[in-house]
Amino acid sequence: MTAAKTLAPTRAPRLWMPDRVTFTADALREPWGEQIRARVEALALPRAKGGGGYPIGLVVAPIVAVPEWQTEYTRLLDDAQAALPAGCDLTWELITHRFTPGSRETLLGWYPNSTLEMVPETRIAKRNKFGGIKHVYPRDAMREMRGWFEREIAARFPGAPILYWT
């Protein structure tokens, strides 16, 4: 599937912005504890709004390639499917874990015992137009994760576009 087909909205333009809720797999809540809402809490808003025809935006962030990541994110998508009414006005944004040298230093200072993988040597360094560096997953890992999410979301939420992948 091409990026244009994947990311292009297939619905009429919205008159208002969707309520956006960010959530992630339970295994990834360890470094931040309560700073990332539990799935059940995160899905309460879209469940309430989705039944009323309001647009809903679900943001999965961060997406981290932990061991058994497919199992972790399968549970997350299953919970979302169970929580949301069929056919609700839904969009997705998917954000993989990335870090800059500065954000890495800050996070390791705040959470010195974190098990979150932030080893620059295991990532690809990308530069922005101002010369800043961010460390992202290698292309093969990104391709695998993106393909998996596209397939799984399409199977559970037909017609719900993925607006953003990074």
The full set of domain ranges for the chain reads 3-97+141-165, 99-136
Q: Which residue has the tokens 């981290």?
A: 64
Please check the confidence at residue 7 and state whether its pLDDT lies above 50.
Answer: no
Confidence of residue 49 (pLDDT cuts 50, 70, 90): low
Mean pLDDT, the chain, whole residue set:
80
Decide if pLDDT at 8 tops 60: no
Task: Give the per-residue pLDDT at 138.
Answer: 98
Q: Which of 163, 20, 18 is nearest to 94 (CA)?
A: 163
DSSP calls for 100-138: -HHHHHHHHHH-TT------GGGSEEEE-TTS-EEEE--
**Which of 35 and 109 is assigned the larger pLDDT?**
109
Asked whether the whole model's pTM tops 0.85, one would answer no
Residues 14, 21 contacting (CB under 8 angstroms): no
| pLDDT above 70 for 118 | yes
Dig out the tokens for 114 from the structure. Answer: 């974190």
Local structure of 143: helix, strand or coil: helix
CATH number of 3-97+141-165: 3.80.30.30
Give the model's pLDDT for residue 6.
45
Residue 136 has pLDDT above 90, yes or no: yes
Does the pLDDT of residue 122 top 60, yes or no? yes
Q: Are 134 and 52 in contact (CB under 8 A)?
A: no
